[in-house]
Amino acid sequence: MKPTIAFICLGNSCRSIMAEALARHSYGYELTSVSAGLSPLGWVAPETLEVLAEMSIPTHGLRSKGLWEIDLPGCRVVVNLTEQELRPGLRSRFPGRVFNRHITDPFGFSLDAYRRTRDAIIRLLEQEVSLWLKS
């Protein structure tokens, strides 16, 4: 069975949604990716979908959701894309490894900001997926 990696951000509308889609597209044969937000907005920013579509990344089925909507105990790793500390809030539901990898939140900024965030997530995945799979 493939390991599951959860990407977490604040609203699950930009960063973690991008990470879920990009990981699914590029590493779906090795892992299952999910995402959630600490305070989910309930919708995905149109700019998020646009910058993913620019790279022909499938976006079908992506939706903004909270931590309570994903199977945290079933995840091998949680990747925290925020500046906030997640561990205290996760301790009772997730005994595994948490990697804190802050990525700038593009919400409310230009399409170029979304592209920079997307590209930062691509670099992060290229550099760290093998580490996360070994955890």
What percent of the chain shows pLDDT beyond 90? Answer: 81
Is the pLDDT reported for residue 87 higher than 70?
no
Following DSSP, what letter does each residue of 11-74 receive, concatenated? Answer: SSSSHHHHHHHHHHHHHTTT-EEEEEESS--SS--HHHHHHHHTTT---TT----BGGGS-GGG
User: Hey, what domains does the chain have and what are their CATH numbers?
Assistant: 4-134 (3.40.50.2300)
Confidence of residue 126 (pLDDT cuts 50, 70, 90): very high
Q: What is the pLDDT of residues 26-79, one digit of tens each?
A: 999 999 999 999 999 999 999 999 999 999 999 999 999 999 999 999 999 999
User: Which range has the worst mean pLDDT, 5-19, 52-66, 73-87, 118-132?
Assistant: 73-87
Place of tokens 């309930």: 42
The whole-model pTM stands at: 0.95
Share of residues in the chain with pLDDT > 70 (%): 96
Neighbours of 78 (CB within 10 A): 25
pLDDT band at 81 (very low <50, low <70, confident <90, very high): very high
pLDDT band at residue 89, thresholds of 50, 70 and 90?
A: low
pLDDT mean over 105-126? 98
Instruction: For CA atoms 38, 31, 116, 128, give the dihedral sign.
Output: positive
